[in-house]
Structure 1
């Protein structure tokens, strides 16, 4: 049992206790945020804001710039999404769950490519192309940027981006020595699959004639 424990958590031996506690708190609020998203609950945003703020601080300390930018973007999009989800489209209805339109698919592609370019420039500027993980960071950042934008606008396809990004992130964060975060993304993958199914049900109910 001890060798298994050491395999997963030995990388924390040199970390300050405060960083470990903060990561656990951020992971807990991250779980809550994704769970509330699955439930189509507005609490996805306040819980997400707490998680992302903590991760921005931690990732800056660890010089994981791509991951830090993802969380900084999550923070800003959480504020935007909070507004969109509470905005009424008429006197009685809030912004509904919908499929992406052709225009929104093109917008998603633009966000994806623009993010790739932006992260590339940042890594070039800070000379961070010193590990293969930097290239994966660039890809996952672009995937998550699109997923967060679509979620803020209540597009059901956002879950597809979350699932793909989460699957890539599990081994990536474990390799980086962030075991708790890797576990978080593993659970995120499972919740995202159920979230996609739950949103499909909401969409079918919304489209059903009253």
Structure 2
């Protein structure tokens, strides 16, 4: 499935096409707050792990393994993470407070410093800083998504815009198109989730 092919004028592989379809389905279900999104996230992460490893994007390849683990947690959290005292109510959309914003920013910075150092020192990637920065940002976005924080969409918008350039540079043109689509979908997700907050409850830390 890693044999090269040309689809609509773009050089790609069957693995990349499969990952593309699964990823679009995942984000579409996330926008609708459908918990089955996590199943598609697990499968698409496995597929993209192969694609990125073959392109020497080792940070992104390793990130897919983390995504699989976080997706299992996110799936459970969406179904049983509500604040009803017994942990059995579905999780509602909420916003980060000031502490949450600081924690997300610090986590992104520390993740970038650690990952870029590791990638530069122990792999043959030619984009250690870009890969490290976007990998760290993706982890922050995924954790916020798992807790249904509205600000996960802000993180994904920033990350996805930068990923477009990275994937075009690495020759993953179909994936570059995918992430351009993700930017639009993240904006749609931000708007859709924001509308649910007055019905979902008050701001949570």
TM-score, normalized by length of structure 2?
0.86
- The gaps in structure 2 that reach 5 residues or longer are 1-5
SS in 1 for 2:56: coil
Q: 1:8 to 1:176 in 2, by over 3 A?
A: farther
1:186 aligns with 2:180: yes
Distance 1:65 1:181 in 2: 16
Aligned pairs for 1:77-92 within 5 A? 77-87=70-80, 88-90=82-84
Residue 175 of structure 1 corresponds to which residue in structure 2? 169
8 Å contact 2:79–2:89 — kept in the other structure? Answer: no
8 Å contact 2:58–2:123 — kept in the other structure? Answer: no
Aligned pairs for 1:133-172 within 5 A? 133-172=127-166
Distance 1:126 1:80 in 2: 29
8 Å contact 2:78–2:146 — kept in the other structure? Answer: yes
Residue 96 of structure 1 corresponds to which residue in structure 2? 92
CA RMSD of aligned residues (A): 2.2
Match of 2:33 among 27, 40, 55: 40
1:206 aligns with 2:200: yes
Residue 195 of structure 1 corresponds to which residue in structure 2? 189
The Cα offsets for residues 69-101 of structure 1, whole Å up to 9 and x where unpaired, read as 232222121111111101143267322110012
Q: 1:8 to 1:175 in 2, by over 3 A?
A: farther
Residue 53 of structure 1 corresponds to which residue in structure 2? 46
- The gaps in structure 1 that reach 5 residues or longer are 13-19
Q: How many residues end up aligned between the 2 structures?
A: 194
